Structures are given as structure tokens and as C-alpha cells.
Amino acid sequence: MEKLKYERPIINKIKAGVPDKYGMSTRVQIKTDIEGIPVKDIVNQYGSPVFVLSEKTIRETYQEAHRAFQSRYPKVQFAWSYKTNYLDAVCQIFHDEGSWAEVVSGFEYDKAIENGVPGNKIIFNGPDKSDADLKKAVENGSFIHIDHFDELYSLMRIVKKIGKKAKVAIRVNMDTGVYPKWDRFGFNYENGEAWNAINRIMLTENMDLVGLHTHIGTYMMTTNAYTVAAGKLADLAVKTAQKYKHHIKYIDMGGGFASKNTLKGAYLPGKDTCPSFDDYAEAITSALINSEIDPEHLPVLFLETGRALIDDAGYLIGSVLANKRLSNARRATIIDIGVNILFTSFWYEHEIYPGQACSQQTEDTTIYGPLCMNIDVIRESIQFPLLQKNDLVVIPRVGAYNMTQWMQFITLRPNVVLIDREQNLHLIRKKETNEIFKNQEIVPKHLKNKKT
């Protein structure tokens, strides 16, 4: 029989049968496998830490979201928000499901083209589009969402020069009752800027105003903000139709749906408070069909949902490096997952599960990452069992924004693997190496080979 692991005795207040703020406490939950594949095997094969994505969850989540909108509105088109997770394998899954691409830079635009997305299925957002980017987008027939007047004027010059019609929309920002307001992107609705931009575009030859766009925020907890926003875009579409007999072809409601992660400082867990796709769909589609838009010219509804479509599909597996007692006798566990690869730990209280059977005795613990930096805290305070060095931990719901916002800081970025629908593992992004960073650097001749 294996020798039992020594656990240092501690004094704990007995809380059995006493509810905490989430209700009755339950047994320590563990996560030993992801879709039937033992986390131990994944780490043995791909190292620790390692990101794992589930193709099945991505597809099922997409289909659930699509169904919620399609069943309430006749014409719906999703466009995958590249910045949320632009690993090519991930983008390909969304494109395979029927999603177009939504990009916010020249880099992302080229990525979408390389992923085989036809130019006329790319939505080009964001405040930073170079003249070369704009020209390429016009030539490819992409949908250009104009962010500010300077961009509008650049585009006017470009279309005049190349003599090709641009398909454009404007991004509109507005008061939706959610504060702070996101008014730095696009043209404001309330002060008349949006209407002004529409009039300028309508009077420009070689510009076809095909859509109206808004992206009101991210992790929006209230569906009412979408009702307000869709209503305001519908008003602009109606005004445009009245004045110019010109019908807007699509209304793009952007992204921003909340995922099931729990925000820092939230009283209840995110999975209990986040609205469902049906809730969001009900709010948006009701506002559109109840508007004054002529039903003969009902616009296509575009959605650029990012976070809510991919968060649940991502896991991060890591291992314990050490345990220690802080000066105030508090227990601290150090793991090999730092804020450099788990960027969302700045906003979320990520759940963390032991990756193997463990003691049921928990203690209020701080979980630190491996960086030599005070801010490298994954969880400030969590009821956690004592794990030993090399024990595994699993952090669920990390699919959104981590694999794009991660930083090469102190450590290199780890492997990313995908579990396909037949439970095969595929390496979809290789762990970085010193070689990669060396290739980018140039040491001036006079500093080379110095003896120290």
C-alpha cells in the first residue's frame, strides 16, 4: 500500500451544515479529465502548463447561440470575433459552422484571408485601419465599419482614386443605460454625429451604406441595454429610408454577451447570473421587429459574439510548484500558471479544481502564479485543499481572450491542444522556444561576445 501523504495539522473552524454566501458548502470538486481524457495524460504528453480546447463545446455553444437567434428572426449571420481567440484551428471551427470573420486590424484581416474567408465575408472594425488596409478591404468587397471622420475622409479619397464602390457601415455609440459609457469608438447617436456621418456617406459617390453597427460593451449583464441599442440603430435605419429611400441591408449588434465566469467583486457566481443566449436574442430581435423598419426591407441581423461563444470551451491545466505559509500564517499555493498566460485573472475569480483525488480538508488559501512579481495572484482567497508539489490543477472557462492577450513575460507561452469530437488530441499551437525570441533580436556588433 502506498504511504499516505503527510498533512500538517491545522485548526479549522467547523462550518459543516453552515451555509456560506453561495449556500451550503459541498465536497471539494475535482476535475480529473477533460471530455474523458485524463488531465494527467495530457500533461504527460504536452507538458505543464497547457491550454486545452474542446471542439465539441465550441460547436455546441455556437449552435445554441445560432438557434436562439435564428428561431426568433428570419435572417441571422454570426461573424467570429478574431481578437477573442484567433488560433487558426479555432477560427476554422467557427467558419465551418457558418461564421464569417470580424477583424479589428490589418494583421487580423490578413489572418482571415489566410484562413480562406472570402473578402465579402469579412467585417472590418476598429479605429486603426491604414490606407493600405482600407484599399485592400474595398478591393476585396469587405464590409468596412467606419470608426471616425478621419477614417471616413481617408476612405473617400481611396474610393475616388481606385474608382471602386466601398461597402460601408458606421459604428454607432450611444447611451444604453450602462455606465461607464463606451463612447470612444464610432459616432455618437445622441449628439447627432452618427446621423451626420450617415448623411456624408449617402452623399458620397462610390460608397454604399449597407449597414449600421454597434458594440456596446463587453460582459453585459443586462439584456435591456441591447433593446435600447437595437432600437436606436433601427431609428437611424428608418430615418435613412425616409430621407433617401435607401434601405440598410444589415444591423450589426456587435458582441458583449457575458460568459459564465464570475467577475471579481460579484456576489453570486457568473453561471447563476449571466443571461442566456435566448434572453439576449429575445431582447435584440424584439426591438428590431417592433421598430418602424419596413418589414419588406427587414435587415439581416449580424452578431459578433466572442467571449460567450468560446470561454466554456477552454481549460488551463497546471501544476503545483510549492506550498508555503505567509507571515500571517495564511496558506499559499504556488502554481505554474501566472497572470502572463491567464490574463483574464485580472477580471475573473477563476474556478480552480484539483486534477486528482485530494483531501476534503480545505483551508482559505491564496493561489499565486510562478512570476517574480507581486501582482501574480490567480486567486486571492479560495477554500482549497492542500495539494502537493507536482499535483495538477485545472482552471475551466479560459477560452476567451487568454490565447490572444497572453504575454511573453518571464516564461514562454505553453502548448495549446484541441480535443476533437472523436476525442483525439491535436497540438494546435506549439509551445514557444528561446529560439523564437532570439530570432527577433539583434545585438549590435560592438556589444557582441563581451567577456564579463
Ligand X SMILES: *Cc1c(COP(=O)(O)O)cnc(C)c1O
Tell me which residues touch ligand X (CB under 6 A): 81, 83-84, 102, 104, 125, 215, 218, 254-257, 304-307
**Phi, psi dihedrals of residue 42, rounded to the nearest 5°:** -65, -45
Q: How far is the CB of 325 from ligand X (least distance, A)?
A: 39
Contact by Cβ (8 Å): 288, 300? no
Cis ω on the peptide bond leading into residue 49 (within 30° of 0)? yes
Comparing CB distances to ligand X, the nearer of 257 and 368 is 257
Buried b (16+ CB within 10 A) or exposed e, 64-81: ebbebbbebbeebbbbbb
Comparing CB distances to ligand X, the nearer of 249 and 307 is 307
Comparing CB distances to ligand X, the nearer of 87 and 373 is 87
Q: How far is the CB of 154 from ligand X (least distance, A)?
A: 19
Place of cell 481617408: 154
Q: How far is the CB of 420 from ligand X (least distance, A)?
A: 24
d(CA 306, CA 296): 31
Within 8 A by CB and 6+ apart from 163, the residues are 206
Name the nearest CA neighbour of 77 among 276, 246, 274, 211: 211
Comparing CB distances to ligand X, the nearer of 254 and 354 is 254
- What Å distances lie between residue 132 and 154, 206, 269, CA to CA? 11, 18, 45
Q: How far is the CB of 411 from ligand X (least distance, A)?
A: 26
Comparing CB distances to ligand X, the nearer of 305 and 362 is 305
Q: Residue 63 has what DSSP assignment?
A: H
Q: How far is the CB of 316 from ligand X (least distance, A)?
A: 18
d(CA 255, CA 302): 10
Strands 362-368 and 377-385: antiparallel
Q: At what angle do helices 55-70 and 88-96 cross, to 10 degrees?
A: 40
Contact by Cβ (8 Å): 441, 78? no
Comparing CB distances to ligand X, the nearer of 57 and 84 is 84
Q: How far is the CB of 429 from ligand X (least distance, A)?
A: 20
Q: How far is the CB of 84 from ligand X (least distance, A)?
A: 5
Comparing CB distances to ligand X, the nearer of 135 and 171 is 171
Q: How far is the CB of 260 from ligand X (least distance, A)?
A: 13
Q: How far is the CB of 128 from ligand X (least distance, A)?
A: 12
Q: Which residue is nearest to ligand X (CB)?
A: 255
Q: How far is the CB of 257 from ligand X (least distance, A)?
A: 6
Taking the CB of residue 297, how many other CB atoms lie within 10 A of it? 12
Comparing CB distances to ligand X, the nearer of 106 and 256 is 256
Comparing CB distances to ligand X, the nearer of 307 and 331 is 307
* DSSP codes, 235-286: HHHHHHHHHH-----EEE----B--SSPBTT-SS-HHHHSPPHHHHHHHHHH
d(CA 138, CA 135): 5
Q: How far is the CB of 419 from ligand X (least distance, A)?
A: 22
Q: Is the dihedral of CA 189, 190, 193, 199 positive or negative?
A: positive
184, burial (CB in 10 Å: exposed 0-12, middle 13-18, buried 19+): exposed
Comparing CB distances to ligand X, the nearer of 311 and 349 is 311
Comparing CB distances to ligand X, the nearer of 81 and 415 is 81
Strands 187-188 and 122-124: unpaired
